[in-house]
Chain A
């Protein structure tokens, strides 16, 4: 059993190497085609490469000014709907003094972490990890443009200012456009990083405003360039059919019959390496359309050897969990003296058992990849070109290189916009399957997973259970907190998406607290699903705090604030840890803006929840009614959020509203179960999703503190379920301790 689980390690694990990213002196400059200005960022990559300072003409670039005045700003991070392709370039444009109307954002043209930095996204980390680099790129560009203007205009540098894509003289109406200055600017000395001065917040003209996503036009006109839209010459369409119980091996399949079907070009039995994140056994079919291969696969008859395949049963897991006691075998966190407080007869002690199901990612764009493997000829090496929707181009590139024995220069990867990801596209098996089909057919192949493939072969948000105990003193203070998670183990190791997190609330703030874990072996793969761990822990912990408040006759908001204690960082020196002062700030703001304490008519209630994750402090207050038939209506959710300064106000608001609606969708109807290793729900008719008619009003209030900005793709989601469940208790007197609501006799 592992020792204390470090939350940052767990959070980082899928997307960030253990190697710390330390920035080196990074700025170089060179001429580029068209006389543009190109600035290069040499930062250590996400992969385990040795960072090098760039030099010579082969430089990376974030900023390029074209002769026509357009300013190309590269987006290095993949876009999956989190808005990063808009927000990061806004930071660059701000520091440059660019007019946003002149900015053209382009995806970095290759995967190359030495040139572009991290090029991965996830964990709501991307703004945080790129904030300083983007400011440096913008500020450096600005200083070089000012140096060029000083020469051209024969004026001292300190009398010049960059604004609206021009360098202006402060004491006259003279100015020069960036386009006029670009070719001279590229020859100017590169400012030392230490000399860079950044704009003051009060002077911001772009950061903090609302910008429509840079791809909005393409999206609304049907030109959005998603991976699944890839079309390349001579391309075949592919499908890949795996054992419905993960881990099954092929004994035989009727591929000769399949090859005769209309539109089928070829079919193959593919032997995998047994690694679920690389290549499992399957039958590949390539043909002249997606429909041809989807139709042909229905005629497949495959005999599977399931001796080593998953036998998972949700029913068995649930039965096991219900038998578990108050404290698990592995105590992963303990402080103070929990048992004394729990045994003190003057304290009120309550205990509850919570349940949350497996969930699928349900990215609306199914998994897909287009691969073109070209075998080498005399003197020419093999080459692999891919059109790849992924959260991590570098991670997938490394996998392809290792698995197929390729050097970096033998791959060309086009990172495509993703139709949602939520943590899903961090696992590269769909890429490996596409490569196999291209190698076997000798042609470019677009592999498209069906919806059923995408639901059945997911890396699920794992389900689990939690038994909680709490003690309240006679005067209504929290005396002890205990949580026992019954989670999953893959083989003998606990899943990294379950367990106990030392920095979580309220374990970390409670004087007497214990967290323990018991695991049950499940072979169903699990992975990060929007706010992993937090999306379940918030539900169990923040509902149970409300239960304790009720048991002690305390006001829930007052109790939450009391539990926070003095304003402080829970991990001194780590500003990504929770700060109890920021927590109190959002709790008070949500309560005030949502009208906490208002009288409610019968059948209607207010519920609140706070949660801290991904460096974000978020409180949400839900106003909910439940009618006699159990129909739940969430009228309004009021959210208070502290992630520091907001970069793109429109995008930030959209993320919080969307997270809340997504969280409600999951809470209301979604549940994946499995029996004999087979996933039971394989399409939307078996997996209800929230529709527009049930979407609540969502009011969002940001506390724009002075800490560096952090991300918003995930932290708006976790507090929603407990806020709604707490409000349902107030409305009905009935405590919801299991999701989804549809299983508890409710509808929406």
Chain B
């Protein structure tokens, strides 16, 4: 079986996997990183969202063979050590989750949004987050939390 080298959450990892195995299953079953979720397997729900070289991708459709030598960030690697990402902090403070299953994908999509657009409007949020489904219907709080995180990053930068 091919062996791939991938940088996952800043650490080099070797993965023995068939090259067509989606990254999602390599992360979950072979590397024990279960924060990225399987929802639909066809790129429609966004629960599996991770960052590939900083850009959001649906890991359920991305063959592991295509990410060899590249950098992956998953929800487990979003915090900076013990310091939560502003979005994670906002998600806790706004009590966004209900069942919580989609939320790691939601947060990863939101993190990519804030990276490119630090002060998104509601319309920006809707456009960036429309690929992430929430069965529990927490969209109102997702919007609130993204705005709150953007403001907290702003406030931190102003100090």
Whether A126 is near chain B, meaning CB under 8 Å from some CB there, is no
A698 within 8 Å of B by Cβ?
Answer: yes
Are A212 and B99 touching (Cβ within 8 A)?
A: no
Q: How far is the CB of B95 from chain A (nearest CB, A)?
A: 4
Q: Contacts A221-B79, A684-B133, A693-B130 hold; do A81 and B100 have CB atoms under 8 A apart? A: yes
**Is B39 interfacial (CB 8 A cutoff)?**
yes
Q: A419 to B95, Cβ gap below 8 A?
A: no
| Measured CA separation A288–B18 after assembly (Å) | 12
Interface size, A (range): 35 or more
State in angstroms the CA–CA spacing of A269 and B42 once bound together. Answer: 28
Q: Are B75 and A222 in contact (CB under 8 A)?
A: yes
A290 near B28 (CB under 8 angstroms)? yes
B104 touches A222 (CB 8 A): yes
- Provide the residues of chain A in CB contact with B95, threshold 8 Å: 210-213, 216, 650-651, 654
Chain B's closest residue to A654 (CB) is B98
| A220 and B25 form a contact (CB under 8 A) | no
> Which one, A216, A289, A364, contacts B135 given CB within 8 A?
A364
In whole angstroms, how far apart are the Cα atoms of A575 and B137 in the complex? Answer: 30
A419 to B131, CA, bound (A): 18
Q: In the complex the two chains form, is B97's CB within 8 Å of A219's CB?
A: yes
**Nearest CB in chain A: distance from B77 CB, A:** 9
In the bound complex, CA of A365 to CA of B40 (Å): 9
A684 and B137 within 8 A (CB): no
Which residues does chain B contribute within 8 Å of A451, judged by CB atoms?
39-42
Q: Are B41 and A417 in contact (CB-based, < 8 A)?
A: no
Contacts of B104 in A (CB 8 A): 219-220, 222, 224
Against B, the Cβ 8 Å flags (1 = close, 0 = not) of A643-675 are 000000011001101111110010000000000
Q: How many Å from the CB of B124 to the closest CB on chain A?
A: 11
Q: Which residues of A contact B (CB under 8 A)?
A: 80-83, 210-213, 215-217, 219-224, 226, 228-229, 231, 237, 262-263, 288-291, 294, 362-366, 417-422, 448, 450-451, 650-651, 654-655, 657-662, 665, 683-685, 689-693, 695, 697-698
* A-binding residues in B (CB < 8 A): 1, 17-18, 21-22, 25, 28-30, 32-42, 44-45, 47, 74-76, 78-79, 84, 87-88, 91-95, 97-104, 107, 125-127, 129-143
Contact of A291 with B79 at beta-carbon distance under 8 Å, contacts A419-B37, A693-B126 already known: no
Q: How far is the CB of A701 from chain B (nearest CB, A)?
A: 15
Task: Select which of B25, B45, B75, B92 is within 8 A of A364 by beta carbon.
Answer: B45
A692 close to B38 (CB less than 8 A): no
Other-chain contact of A685, B17, B42, B84, B132 (Cβ < 8 Å)? B42
Q: Please name 18 pairs of A and B residues whose Cβ atoms are closer than 8 Å in the assembled complex, sorted by A.
A: A216-B97, A217-B92, A219-B103, A220-B103, A222-B34, A222-B74, A288-B29, A291-B18, A364-B134, A365-B99, A365-B101, A451-B40, A657-B137, A661-B139, A683-B42, A684-B133, A691-B129, A691-B130
| Minimum distance in angstroms from A87 CB to a CB of chain B | 12
State in angstroms the CA–CA spacing of A417 and B88 once bound together.
Answer: 20
- Other-chain contact of A659, B34, B38, B103, B137 (Cβ < 8 Å): B137
Neighbouring A residues of B37 by C-beta, 8 Å: 226, 228, 364-365, 419
Known contacts being A365-B101, A662-B135, A691-B130, is A212 close to B41, with CB within 8 Å? no
